[in-house]
Structure 1
Amino acid sequence: MQFYYGDRNLLRILDEVEFWKRQEGEHTVVIRQIVNNLEPRYVALLQEWEQAFNQTEGVAVKYIEAVTRSNFNVSPALEQQIIQFIQYALNQSQNFILLLDEMVAQSEAVRNNPVALVVINHIRRESEYFSGIVKAFLNVVYAS
């Protein structure tokens, strides 16, 4: 993400959150589809994560609409809410990465499925990429 958007940086990071939360939600489905014999515990956790990602994506859309309606003249209170939400989205992705790590280490079904290992590692890298974008944004925000 480039940081030369000026007053549109909030909108840009919210666009990233919306996109990546949709991706992460879809990734939970992909994992469940490619690991046919995935342990029920992980199936249930991935279903919960899918719902959580969908909810976070929905909140991002609401904030995008609020920023757009304000004509990019965001109040300090709304800006603070958005920054807290961005931090929440980052923490969510970091916790999802921990689940992916656990699945690779603990799930017999995943360990015995070479394709699943490749896909889960790819998904992990994508969530790490999103986390990096958010951390860079937050560093700029807190440096101001």
Structure 2
Amino acid sequence: MQFYYGNQMPLRVLDEAEFWKENEAEHTVVMRELVTNLEESFAETLKQWENVLETTHQHVKRFIESVVRSNNHVSPALYKQVLDLVSFCLQESQAFIQFCRQLKRESAAISGNHTAKVVIDHIIDESEYFIGVAQTILYEQY
């Protein structure tokens, strides 16, 4: 996490969300390229996840611009929208983790690929890290 923000919570949490949403989108590509014989239905779902995560990433970037342009005089309405967006990002990451676990359980191509299982476990760990950091920042606000 970028601790140089100090108490600037909106930028701290948005920075985390922006970084991890970009990573999660990239992770969908990693999985597709690592498992070249991945079942078509799973490959298509990973492409859908890539689009969804990239859309969220862009949305977070727009919020960062809004906060920066406010010179950190964030209105209560914008502050609430930031919290709502981060909550959405957490839920999205939880769903992405569930899909990654489903891949490990149900994909024959992955079941025979030890490297893919290790990489997917690492991807899950990284998404769980984001969830933990974001929850910590959000809970500090209450």
What are structure 1's unaligned runs of at least 5 residues? none
- 1:17-56 correspondence runs (5 A): 17-56=17-56
Please tell me the residue identity of whatever aligns with 2:17. V
Counterpart secondary structure, 2:21? helix
Q: Say how many residue pairs are matched.
A: 141
Taking the aligned partners of 1:108 and 1:138, their CA distance within structure 2 comes to: 39
Segments of structure 2 that go 5 or more residues without pairing to the other structure are: none
> Root-mean-square deviation (CA), in Å?
1.3
Deviation at 1:134, TM superposition (A): 1.0
1:47-91 alpha-carbon deviations (Å, 9 max, x no partner): 011011111110111101000100000000010011000000000
Whichever residue aligns with residue 5 of structure 1, its letter is G
- Alpha-carbon distance, 1:135 to partner: 1.0
Provide TM-score, normalisation by structure 2: 0.95
> Conserved in 1, the CA contact under 8 Å of 2:5 and 2:11?
no
Partner in structure 2 of residue 135 of structure 1: 135
Supply the AA of the counterpart residue of 1:129. Y
Q: Contact 1:24–1:53 at 8 Å: present in 2 too?
A: yes
**What is the TM-score of this pair, normalised by structure 1?**
0.94
- Aligned-pair identity (%): 42
Q: For 1:138 and 1:13, locate their aligned partners in 2 and report how far apart those are by CA, in whole Å.
A: 8
Cα distance, 1:137 vs. partner? 1.3
Per-residue deviation at 1:99? 0.3
Residue of structure 2 equivalent to 1:76 = 76
